[in-house]
Structure 1
Amino acid sequence: MFTLNKYENSQLLIEDLTSHIVNALKQAIEKKGHASIAVSGGKTPIPLFTLLSQQNLEWNRVFITLVDDRWVDDTDDASNEKLVITYLLQNKAKLANFIGLKNSYDNPFDGAELTDEILDKVPMPLDVVILGMGEDGHTASLFPGAANLQAGLDMKSGRKVVGMTPLTAPLDRITLTLPTILNSTNIYLHLVGQSKMAVLEQAENGDDVNQMPIRAILHQNKVKVTGFWSAS
């Protein structure tokens, strides 16, 4: 259940994606009294975070967490938590409830169980999950060929998160598992650039999830996935 929206430029994309996110969160608040969203890191979502932070929403009823993070301190520039604090938890969104993935353990494999418990504070299922996609076909921190990839893809594991050591990127990570992602209400895939379109087409035209884990998101019938793409 994948559909792709294409935009003339990234500003139009961001405005429409923001509208989708806000509407989904408002509907959740009206229905349940609260809403939850998991966001991804990197440079691509920074303008989205900035615009989203300015939206009129009952932010005190919104719980924000991360799709994944590098196992570094939140003062490190590589930290997705630092990114969210800097760009999203600003303006009106300062009132949101943020729960990060990193804890005091030395590595994400030892720390995953504690993070799993901490995520009990986030209302599940998630109302919105915003994913990105790497040039290697990874999404979240579900990386091709990683030793712990199957644990992250296991739909029966019962785990919200797993540790991951990428073969194609530095630093150990912690990531939401595939069942946690697919248990959400809305999945939005945020892509910018011609190269990402080429990767997306390759992913859509194949079925080897180990080679391109994004296929586990694209080729499933549990939840609708909407892609938002612009060339620049």
Structure 2
Amino acid sequence: MTQVIETGSNGTIELPETANFGEFPDAEQLVGALAAKVAKVLTAAIQANGSATLAVSGGSTPIPFFEALNQMPLQWDKVQILLVDERFVPTSDDASNTRLVRHHLLKNHARQAKLIEVAVDAADAVAAAEETNSRYAELHWPLDCCVLGMGNDGHTASLFPGSPQLAMACSEDTTRYCCMAEPTGAPHARITLTLPKIRSANALILHIAGAAKLDTLREALDGMAQPELMPIRYVLNRPLSIFWTP
């Protein structure tokens, strides 16, 4: 079953019943609502289990969200943060998601959280994925919350269409937490969470902004039978909260 959502001047979008679509008039209201939701999920996990795990995405879109989230007064010393994906670059590089999270999230209240870093100091991206996989194996799974982004080509995390590692990363049989990925049309090898670990998150969230991303979402929904062509399709049929602003 599907649901038809009105998106103001951007028309309608037809979503699976498992998706919850939130439209916000501007980025400020979106990030406020998103930060509040994530804080609520983390607080509930801490109350239930004594700790919480949060996976976040990089890029420019989540920066205002990070700045809102770090103001939330919860038990951050009980929160472990990991990256949905990371480029194999030094943490001092402008392209580093680790650098981004350190600068925009791990401050104010959230400075007490623990970041489980990707092993970008390894000899190569394959070795980095192996060491990071070992680090992630020590965490409590499934993730309590995972906040995804989406590229205009329909990739999410570093699950890129055409990537040589896509089939393995998206295999339901993989027991890995993360793997190396070589993106098509983008620089740097990556280390990415595997699809099963993303999909198993207790709260799965997609954060997107702009009319172009809404068009990408529509295109993805129109061809769900071929998820490998737009890997965001792999999560669109899961319980998913979508946060979008024009």
Deviation per CA, 1:39-68: give whole Å up to 9, x if none.
000000001101111110000000001000
Deviation at 1:119, TM superposition (A): 1.0
Residue aligning to 1:194: 211
Cα separation, 2, equivalents of 1:129 and 1:122: 14
Aligned counterpart, 2:159? 142
Q: Is the 8 A contact 2:137 2:177 kept in 1?
A: no
Residue deviations 1:119-177 (CA, integer Å, cap 9, x gap): 13332111000000000000000000101100110111100011111112111101000
Q: What's the Cα RMSD here?
A: 1.0
1:87 and 2:104 are equivalent in the alignment: yes
Runs of 4+ in 1 over 6 A off after TM superposition: none
AA of the residue aligned to 2:39: V
- TM-score computed with the length of structure 1 as normaliser: 0.96
**Which runs of 5 or more residues in structure 1 are unaligned?**
none
1:102 to 119, 143, 160: 119
User: Which residue identity does 1:215 align to in structure 2?
Assistant: R
User: What residue is the counterpart of 2:134 in the other structure?
Assistant: 117
Matched ranges for 1:216-231 at <5 A: 216-220=234-238, 224-231=239-246
CA distance in 1, matches of 2:161, 2:119: 22
Counterpart Cα distance in 2 of 1:141 and 1:189: 14
5+ residue gaps, structure 2: 1-17
Within 1, Cα distance between the matches of 2:48 and 2:170?
30
CA contact (8 A) 2:41 2:144 kept: yes
Q: Do the aligned residues in 2 keep the contact of 1:99 with 1:122 (CA within 8 Å)?
A: no
The question of whether the paired residues in 2 share the 8 Å contact of 1:182 and 1:217 is answered with yes
Bigger radius of gyration? 2
Match of 2:9 in 1: none
2:91 counterpart residue number: 74
Partner residue in 2 for 1:214: 232
* Aligned with residue 71 of structure 2, among 54, 58, 67: 54
CA contact (8 A) 1:37 1:128 kept: yes
Instruction: Write the distance in 2 (CA, Å) between the matches of 1:151 and 1:109.
Output: 14
Task: Return the offset for 1:210.
Answer: 1.3
Pairwise CA distance, 1:110: 2.9
2:53 pairs with 1:43: no
